[in-house]
Amino acid sequence: MDVSSTRQAHARSALEARPLLVGVSPDGRSASAVVWAVQEAEQTGQLVRLVTAVDASEVEPVEQSGHDLSVLARRLALGQVQSQRVVGPVAATLLAATADAELLVIGHRGLGRVARAITRGTSAQVATGSPVPVVVVPEAWIQPRFAAAPIVLGLSPDVGEGQDPEAPALAFAFARADNLQVPLTIVCAWQVPPVLAYDAEAISLYEQATREALETRLEPWLERFPEVRTTLSCGDVTPETALLRAARHAQLTVVGRTRASGLGRHGLGATVRGLLQHTECPVAVVPWLRSGTSPGVG
């Protein structure tokens, strides 16, 4: 058995009992999310479960709308596809459905200010409350064009002492890059403290110390995934700017939802919200590491 077959067999044995959940809109505008999820299922051997949340007043019109993405999913999928329609609010319905899921995939519309505001609200609610990683896929995304593109991982420069709260995001990104055999670009942006702003030597020492701490933090992951080609991108810019730049040429951007400073302050944080709002690349938001738990490799 070759390396690729071994990876896929391992993925199937680890994940096949937990389905891959896809939030599907009643109007059929979740095709990109469905395609992304189906292609993911081909790698992992997971069951694909499509969940559509509808308002009680729209039950009959939805039944007659003809927007059935389950047909598309079944045409593309090699494995099993299930469909479920639930009456209730979108975010609450999807969060409830994650109870036995491994991953949740939802779409992101780009249809004007009002539609974007609604979608950002749903995406943010789901990504903030989900116990499993959430992948937000822009409506216009065409995954096959980026099959060989790198994965981008955004990290905070300072996670403090003890367990790394972004370990699940690290595990998710490294395991995915390893399984797909694509490069991993690690982005860590910081802004020099104002007290050092006019001291060139102090700024240089601060940046050097920050980079060295990050390299030390990455050592166990590089040892665990020796075949993953990694590039470290650091700089004195805002995290959102750094991630948006890197995401232009990526197939997926991975960020952690943590309670620490940096990318994940207070729920999603401004960086992750800005990324979801402006990027044209799918974004995976991975929940924080709870105390006493192991990050695993997913």
Q: What is the pLDDT of residue 17?
A: 56
62, 170 contact by CB (below 8 A): no
Quote the pTM value. 0.81
Going by their DSSP bridges, the two strands 252-257 and 151-154 should be labelled as: parallel
DSSP for 167-194, please give it: HHHHHHHHHHHHHHT--EEEEEE----G
pLDDT (0 to 100) of residue 21: 92
> Per-residue confidence at 14, pLDDT binned at 50, 70, 90?
very low
**3-141 and 145-287: identical CATH topology:** yes
> Quick one: tokens of 251?
């197939």
Pick the CATH number of 145-287 from 3.40.250.10, 3.40.50.620, 3.40.47.10, 3.30.565.10: 3.40.50.620
Q: Domain boundaries in the chain?
A: 3-141, 145-287
Burial class (CB in 10 A: 0-12, 13-18, 19+), 142: exposed
Q: How confident is the model at residue 120 (pLDDT cuts 50, 70, 90)?
A: low
Residue pLDDT, tens place only, 258-289: 654 344 344 567 888 888 888 899 999 999 76
Higher-confidence residue of 80 and 133: namely 133
The answer, yes or no, to whether residue 241 has pLDDT greater than 50, is yes
Fold (CATH) for 3-141: Rossmann fold (3.40.50)
Whether the pLDDT of residue 46 is over 50: the answer is yes
pLDDT, mean over the chain: 78
Query: What is the residue-wise DSSP string for the chain?
Result: --HHHHHHHHHHHHHTTSPEEEE--TTSTTHHHHHHHHHHHHHH-PPEEEEEEE-GGGHHHHHTS---HHHHHHHH-SS-EEEEEEES-HHHHHHHHGGG-SEEEEEE--S-HHHHHHHHHHHHHHHHH-SS-EEEEETT--GGGGTTSPEEEE--S---SSS-TTHHHHHHHHHHHHHHT--EEEEEE----GGGTT-HHHHHHHHHHHHHHHHHHHHHHHHH-TT--EEEEEESS-HHHHHHHHHTT-SEEEEEE-SSSGGGSSTTHHHHHHHHHH-SS-EEEEEPPPTT------
pLDDT > 50? residue 228: yes
